[in-house]
């Protein structure tokens, strides 16, 4: 059985964000066909259960802890070596030596995110880079909305990432992104079309909800709450949309569900109309209980796991054009799309008053996800890509 080494800068457990969910679930299915190992950097303390849980999926797991302080100092190298801040932040010579020493044991190395590409880009091995989404597209959008004093720093990283992503896609045997929008953006900026594929994320197959539980007058948001696009989304909704909604629906509650909420998010909590839950073992209990889910995403790129997951349990979702990117469903059928604050609030208010419409949209959403976004379907595509890179077939392990 051929061997794959997966590199990551996030410990992919617990499954609290899209990157972790993607790494964990794709590895789970790839392990049917290959021997899969994980080599991981972490700049934070990680869940003590992680090693044991990950060893259920990976044959071997090695996690190397790095200092945030040293990483911050390493970012200064971007002024000299021209590489993105994110690449310099995570680069460690000792980790590079570990990768180089063991890489020859593997038939393929999969580098997650541009952050890990530097460790393998020059090694004479088969390699795939999973960019997840285009950071350059993300930063390009962020530049339009950031405060003026932040824009130079965002532009600095945008310009470096833009060229670096394309360079890595030319260097690696193949590249992956989660949506056609990211793929088209990268191709338009010089990435080789034949060497980049869209491989969407899929919904978790362990979501448990009680469908018999009655709804309350509430809307919910789900996401890792230290992630800037998620912070921006809930602040915008709380400040620009919710006040008018409360005039029409005084008892409405807004649940902000997700791990590690930033201080500015925690301060939104009032215990009455805005509830910040922090990490929940089963966040979908709150999502299921809500009348609908909101995903007012204004920043970022890629595919929104939070939208897919809510759709998969039959919950009506109101999102933005960015939040719906890459899903391919139809506005008004599988979800509702609104952009400006007044429009967003009107759509939410309309659905709060029309439970039958919520039910119809939720049912259509659940069917659409079952047809397009299961890990079984996406893993088959992943295996086909890997086979084309390796130039050989493989048999499934049961």
Determine, yes or no, domain membership for 307: yes
Q: What is the CATH number of the domain that holds 59?
A: 3.40.50.2000
pLDDT higher than 70, residue 206:
no
pLDDT higher than 90, residue 322:
yes
Answer yes or no: do 247 and 104 share one domain: no
Answer yes or no: do 269 and 175 share one domain: no
The mean per-residue pLDDT over the stretch 284-292 comes to 93
Lowest pLDDT segment from 15-29, 54-68, 134-148, 276-290: 134-148
Tokens 């429009």, located at residue: 343
- pLDDT band, residue 281 (cuts 50/70/90): confident
In this predicted structure, what is the pLDDT of residue 395?
44
- pLDDT band, residue 350 (cuts 50/70/90): very high
pLDDT digits (tens, 9 = 90+) for 161-185: 999 999 999 999 999 999 999 999 9
Determine, yes or no, domain membership for 209: no
Lowest pLDDT segment from 109-118, 151-160, 361-370: 151-160
pLDDT digits (tens, 9 = 90+) for 109-119: 999 999 999 99
Top-ranked range on mean pLDDT: pick from 85-94, 210-219, 389-398: 85-94
346 upstream amide cis, omega within 30 of 0: no
Considering its fold, how many domains does the chain have in total? 2
Determine, yes or no, domain membership for 315: yes
Determine, yes or no, domain membership for 207: no
In this predicted structure, what is the pLDDT of residue 152?
87
Answer yes or no: do 269 and 365 share one domain: yes
In this predicted structure, what is the pLDDT of residue 210?
56
Answer yes or no: do 165 and 250 share one domain: no
Lowest pLDDT segment from 114-118, 144-148, 285-289, 345-349: 144-148
Answer yes or no: do 174 and 251 share one domain: no
The rounded distance, in Å, linking the Cα atoms of 388 and 29 is: 17
Residue 341: burial class (beta carbons within 10 Å; 0-12, 13-18, 19+): middle
Q: 90 CB contacts (<8 Å, ≥6 apart)?
A: 9, 41, 43, 66, 71, 115, 116
Answer yes or no: do 247 and 347 share one domain: yes
Answer yes or no: do 47 and 184 share one domain: yes
In this predicted structure, what is the pLDDT of residue 48?
85
The mean per-residue pLDDT over the stretch 134-155 comes to 84
Answer yes or no: do 386 and 358 share one domain: no
- pLDDT band, residue 280 (cuts 50/70/90): very high
Answer yes or no: do 248 and 383 share one domain: no
- pLDDT band, residue 214 (cuts 50/70/90): low
pLDDT digits (tens, 9 = 90+) for 97-108: 999 999 999 999
pLDDT higher than 70, residue 207:
no
Q: What's the chain's average pLDDT?
A: 92
Answer yes or no: do 359 and 378 share one domain: no
Determine, yes or no, domain membership for 265: yes
pLDDT higher than 80, residue 394:
no
In this predicted structure, what is the pLDDT of residue 150?
79
In terms of pTM, does the model score above 0.85? no
The mean per-residue pLDDT over the stretch 332-346 comes to 97
In this predicted structure, what is the pLDDT of residue 219?
98
CB atoms within 10 A of CB 170: 12
Determine, yes or no, domain membership for 273: yes
Answer yes or no: do 92 and 190 share one domain: yes
Determine, yes or no, domain membership for 156: yes
Per the structure, the complete domain to which residue 364 belongs is given by 218-372
More confident residue, 389 or 44: 389
In this predicted structure, what is the pLDDT of residue 196?
98
Answer yes or no: do 226 and 357 share one domain: yes
In this predicted structure, what is the pLDDT of residue 213?
62
In this predicted structure, what is the pLDDT of residue 209?
64
Determine, yes or no, domain membership for 212: no
The rounded distance, in Å, linking the Cα atoms of 278 and 261 is: 6
DSSP line for 76-131 = GGHHHH---HHHHHH--HHHHHHHHHHHTT-SEEEEETGGGGGGTTTSSS-EEEEE
The answer to whether 232 touches 267, Cβ cutoff 8 Å, is no
């Amino acid at each position: 059985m051929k061997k794959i080494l997966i590199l990551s800068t996030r410990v992919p457990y617990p499954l609290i964000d899209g990157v972790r969910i993607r790494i964990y679930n794709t590895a789970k299915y790839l392990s049917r066909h290959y021997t899969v190992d994980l080599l991981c950097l972490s700049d934070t303390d990680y869940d003590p259960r992680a090693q044991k849980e990950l060893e259920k999926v990976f044959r071997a797991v090695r996690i190397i802890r790095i200092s945030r302080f040293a990483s911050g100092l390493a970012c200064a190298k971007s002024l000299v070596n021209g590489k993105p801040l994110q690449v310099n932040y995570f680069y460690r010579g000792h980790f590079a030596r570990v990768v180089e020493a063991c890489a020859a044991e593997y038939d393929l190395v999969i580098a997650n995110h541009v952050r890990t590409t530097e460790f393998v880009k020059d090694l004479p091995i088969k390699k795939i880079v999973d960019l997840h989404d285009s950071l350059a597209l993300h930063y390009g959008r962020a530049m339009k909305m950031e405060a003026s004093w932040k824009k130079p720093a965002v532009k600095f990283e945008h310009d470096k990432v833009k060229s670096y992503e394309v360079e890595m896609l030319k260097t690696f045997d193949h590249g992956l992104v989660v949506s056609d929008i990211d793929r088209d953006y990268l191709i338009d900026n010089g990435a080789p079309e034949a060497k980049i594929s869209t491989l969407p994320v899929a919904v978790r197959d362990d979501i448990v909800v009680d469908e018999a539980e009655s709804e309350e007058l509430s809307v919910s948001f789900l996401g890792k709450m230290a992630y800037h696009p998620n912070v921006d989304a809930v602040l915008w909704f709380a400040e620009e949309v919710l006040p008018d909604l409360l005039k029409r629906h005084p008892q409405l509650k807004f649940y902000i569900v997700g791990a590690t909420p930033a201080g500015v998010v925690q301060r939104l909590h009032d215990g009455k109309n805005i509830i910040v839950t922090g990490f929940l073992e089963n966040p979908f209990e709150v999502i299921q209980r809500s009348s609908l889910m909101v995903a007012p995403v204004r920043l970022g790129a890629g595919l929104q796991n939070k939208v897919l997951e809510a759709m998969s349990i039959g919950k009506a979702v109101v999102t933005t054009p960015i939040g719906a990117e890459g899903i391919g469903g139809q506005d008004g059928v599988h979800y509702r799309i609104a952009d400006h604050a007044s429009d967003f609030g009107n759509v939410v208010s309309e659905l709060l008053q029309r439970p039958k419409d919520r039910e119809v949209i939720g049912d259509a959403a659940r069917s659409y996800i079952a047809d397009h976004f299961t890990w079984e379907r996406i893993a088959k595509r992943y295996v086909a890509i890997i086979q084309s890179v390796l130039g050989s077939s493989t048999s499934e392990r049961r």
